[in-house]
């Protein structure tokens, strides 16, 4: 599903003539197989979000390759990567990223409207996805009228409507209390088992990482050898 080969990334800081280089990821090699839940765990600042941004195609690596669905994606143009993302990848964020002026239903429906899906089909998919995450009773609520856990369910349902094969989640329970955290992790496991969706979950929390079939530990931009059961 994802193969990462000799991936390194640095940021350039400062103005022209006085640039400093900040190395963030160093020679990352890892694989995520279809149908797995893989956790990447590491302290704040270890480079986890940068890794996810590279896999998502929001930034391009300084060195190395990222393969997905049998092709190199790390050198795709922005437009081609945007297409690839729409077809294959769903996203879940720590901060939910819902549109406040839209109801739960409308938030979930939005990607289908952007795709040009007709209304009857949209409704059928939205209702099915709301059921998947246990949200049917809250469809007309605005984000401000939902708990954190309910908002995260809306964002998971929204991530599902275009039927991605892969969901990338950056600290998906980082804003939730521990009880709600377990509910969201259970939903992730259910979606993995019932729909076969592959998950890559980034977290600083060793306990959350336990949800993974495998955990990859990252420290100071490097994968810790030996810590990763394959
Ligand atoms: N766009 C950027 N420009 C410069 N430095 C960045 C940028 N994004 C992240 N960094 C730096 O890269 C390092 C790793 O950040 P990040 O990937 O967000 O870590 P994590 O998600 O593990 O907390 C940090 O030192 C951070 O300040
Ligand atoms: Mg981060």
| Domains of the chain, residue spans | 2-223
Q: Are strands 198-203 and 166-170 parallel, antiparallel or unpaired?
A: parallel
Distance in Å, CA 77 to ligand 2 centroid = 25
What pTM does this model have?
Answer: 0.92
What's the burial of 22, exposed, middle or buried (CB within 10 Å: 0-12/13-18/19+)? exposed
Which atom in ligand 1 lies closest to the alpha carbon of residue 171? 21
Distance in Å, CA 139 to ligand 2 centroid = 30
Predicted pLDDT of residue 14:
86
φ/ψ (deg, to 5) at 93? -115, 155
Q: Which of 22, 42, 174, 205 to mutate to test the pocket of ligand 1 (most atoms within 8 A of CB)?
A: 22
What residues of the chain score a pLDDT lower than 50? 229-230
Predicted pLDDT of residue 226:
53
Return the sign of the alpha-carbon dihedral for residues 102, 149, 175, 50.
negative
Distance in Å, CA 58 to ligand 1 centroid = 14
Distance in Å, CA 94 to ligand 2 centroid = 9
Q: Are strands 166-170 and 89-93 parallel, antiparallel or unpaired?
A: parallel
Of the ligands numbered here, which is closest to the C-alpha atom of 19?
Answer: 1
Distances (CA, A) of 201 to 115, 121, 133: 26, 30, 18
Q: What's the chain's length in residues? A: 230
Of the ligands numbered here, which is closest to the C-alpha atom of 45?
Answer: 1
Which atom in ligand 1 lies closest to the alpha carbon of residue 47? 17
Residue 43, both tokens: 């302290």
The answer to whether 42 and 218 have CB atoms below 8 angstroms apart is yes
Terminal alpha carbon distance of the chain: 15
Predicted pLDDT of residue 219:
96
Question: Residue 224 pairs with which residues in a beta bridge?
Answer: none
Residue 127, both tokens: 């209702």
Residue 78, both tokens: 């922005």
Choose among 84, 38, 36, 31: nearest CA to 57.
84
Predicted pLDDT of residue 228:
52
Largest Cα–Cα separation, the chain = 58
Nearest CA, atom 24, ligand 1: 45
Which atom in ligand 1 lies closest to the alpha carbon of residue 22? 5
Nearest CA, atom 27, ligand 1: 45
Output the ligand 1 site: residues, CB below 6 A: 11, 13, 22, 24, 42, 44-50
3-state secondary structure of 119: helix
Burial 189-208 (b: 16+ CB within 10 A, else e): eebbeeeebbbbbbbeeeeb
Hey, what CATH class is 2-223 in? alpha beta
């Amino acid at each position: 599903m994802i193969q990462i080969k000799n991936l390194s990334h640095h940021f350039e800081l400062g103005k022209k003539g006085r640039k400093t280089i900040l190395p963030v990821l160093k020679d990352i090699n890892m694989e995520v197989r279809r149908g797995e839940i893989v956790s990447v765990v590491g302290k704040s600042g270890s480079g986890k979000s940068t890794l996810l941004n590279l896999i998502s195609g929001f930034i391009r690596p300084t060195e190395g390759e990222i393969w997905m669905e049998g092709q190199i994606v790390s050198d795709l143009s922005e437009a081609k990567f945007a297409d690839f993302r729409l077809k294959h990848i769903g996203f879940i964020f720590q901060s939910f990223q819902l549109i406040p002026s839209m109801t739960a239903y409308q938030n979930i429906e939005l990607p289908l409207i952007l795709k040009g899906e007709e209304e009857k089909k949209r409704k059928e998919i939205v209702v099915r996805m709301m059921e998947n995450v246990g949200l049917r009773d809250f469809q007309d609520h605005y984000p401000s009228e939902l708990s954190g856990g309910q908002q995260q369910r809306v964002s998971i349902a929204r991530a599902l409507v275009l039927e991605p094969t892969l969901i990338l989640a950056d600290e998906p329970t980082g804003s939730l209390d521990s009880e709600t955290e377990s509910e969201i992790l259970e939903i992730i496991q259910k979606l993995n088992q019932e729909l076969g969706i592959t998950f890559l979950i980034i977290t600083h929390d060793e306990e959350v990482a336990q949800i993974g079939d495998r955990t990859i530990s990252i420290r100071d931009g490097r994968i810790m050898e030996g810590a990763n059961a394959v």
